[in-house]
Chain A
C-alpha cells in the first residue's frame, strides 16, 4: 500500500505547476547563467555547477521543500482532500511516510536535473570543460542532498501545526530566514542549527574536512531527521479531521 501512495503523492506533486516550474528553473537558470558568463567573457571554468548548487541549496531548494510540505500536509487539510487518502486501506503512518518520500524523491530529481544540466553545459559550451572536476561535482551534489533533506523533514514537522498552507509556508520562511541570520549575532547557533548546513557539500570537495568532522555533522543531520520525522508522524497520527 505504501508504494501505491508514494505513486499517488508523487503524481499529485508532479501535477502542480509549481513543481514543473522548479524543474524548468533547474534547467533554465544554468543555461542563462552560462550565457551571461560567456557573454561577459568570464568563462565557465569549473564554477557553474558549484555556483548553481550554492544558489539552489541556499534558497530555491528550501523554498521548494517549504511549498511542497505546506501543500502536501496543511494545504490538503484546508482543501479537505487529506481525508481521501486516510479512508483507504492504509495506515496514517504509511500515508505520512509516503508523503515525505514523494517530497524527498522530487528533491533528488531536482538536484539530479540541475547536476546533469550543468555538466552538459560544461561539455557543450567552449571553455567549460568540467571533466577534471566531475567527481567533485557529483560528490558535492550527493552531499548537498542530505542537509536539504533534513530541512525538508523540519518543514514537514512545521506543517503539522497548520491547517492552511499559507500559514505554514510563511512560518517556514520566517524560521529559515531567522535561522540564517541568527549566527551573525550568536555564532554558536551555527553549530547546532540544521539551517547552517546548506553548504555542507563544500566540506566534501577538494581536500575537504576530516572524516571525524564529516561524521559528526552527518550524525547531527541524521538526528534532526529522526527527531523531526518521529514528532511529525506522532502529530499526524493525532490529527482529527
Chain B
C-alpha cells in the first residue's frame, strides 16, 4: 500500500519547554487517521510542522514521497489543509476567498469553486463577505478551501469546532464519502474522541508532546470499556510513567 504521509522523528522544542518530541507514524493512502489528545498535547504543533508552518528542530515529513524540507511545492500540491488558527480574509466574499486559493491550481476547472461551496452548503452565501459569517459558516469555508484542489491528502485541525449537529453529520458524511469513493487520505486532529472514532480507521493518542499510542479503533477498545475510557486510562498511565522523562526533556 502506498504511503501518503510519513513522519519521522519530529521534534520541536519551544523556549517554554513545550513542543513535540520524536513523533513517528505513517498513514497509508486512503486511510483516515485521527489524532487525539488533551488540549496542549501538541496536536496543532505537529500538524503545523507537517504543513510547513513551523520548522522542526529534528526529523522529516514526507508526503507521497516528497520531503517537505526540500520539495515543499511538490509535496503541498497533494495537500489540502484546514488549520484551526487560520482565518479567511473577512473583507472578501466566500467565493473570492476560494478564488485566491484556486489560482495556485491552474488545472482546476472554473466550476470547481461553485462545486466545493455546494458540497459544504455555502453556495447560497457565496457572494457574502466573510465578516458576516457565523463561526460554523467560517468553518465550512475552511473545509471548502481544504477540499478545493481535490487533494490526495487532507489535513484537518479540529474540523467540527463551531459546527452544529447538522454540520457535524454533513462533515462526517463528506469525509467518509471522499475517503471511500476517491481514496483521499485524511489526517484529522480533534480532542473529541467519539467524533473521531466514528470516522477514523486508526487513531494516535498524544500527550505532553509525545505520541503515546497508535492503533486501529478496534484494537484500542477493550471489552467492557469505551474508547473514551480507554484513552483517559492511557493518558493517566502515560502521565505517571512519563513524568520524570518529560521533566528531563524540559531541562
Contact = CB atoms under 8 A, between A and B. Distances in A.
B77 A240 contact: no
A84 B104 contact: no
A240 B55 contact: yes
Interface in B12-50: 48
Contacts of A83: 53, 83, 85-86
Interface stretch (B88-96, B225-233, B235-243): B88-96
Nearest to A239: B53
B165 to A, nearest CB: 27
Contact of B89 (A81, A238, A240): A81
A87 interface: yes
Given A87-B76, A240-B55, A4 B87 contact: no
B74 A89 contact: yes
A90 B100 CA distance: 13
- 10 tightest Cβ-Cβ pairs between the two chains A and B: A4-B103, A83-B86, A89-B76, A80-B87, A89-B77, A88-B104, A241-B53, A89-B73, A8-B100, A87-B51
A228 B86 CA distance: 28
B89 A12 contact: yes
Interface residues of B, number: 30
A87 B52 contact: yes
Interface string A1-44: 10011011001100110000000000000000000000000000
A68 to B, nearest CB: 15
Contact of B83 (A5, A87, A91): A87
Interface in B95-112: 96, 100-101, 103-104, 106
A87 B73 contact: no
B127 to A, nearest CB: 14
Interface in B170-224: none
A87 B85 contact: no
Given A12-B89, A15-B92, A81-B86, A86 B53 contact: yes
A79 interface: yes
B91 A84 contact: no
Given A7-B103, A15-B91, A91 B86 contact: no
A86 B54 contact: no
B79 interface: yes
Contact of B73 (A80, A84, A90): A90
B73 A16 contact: no
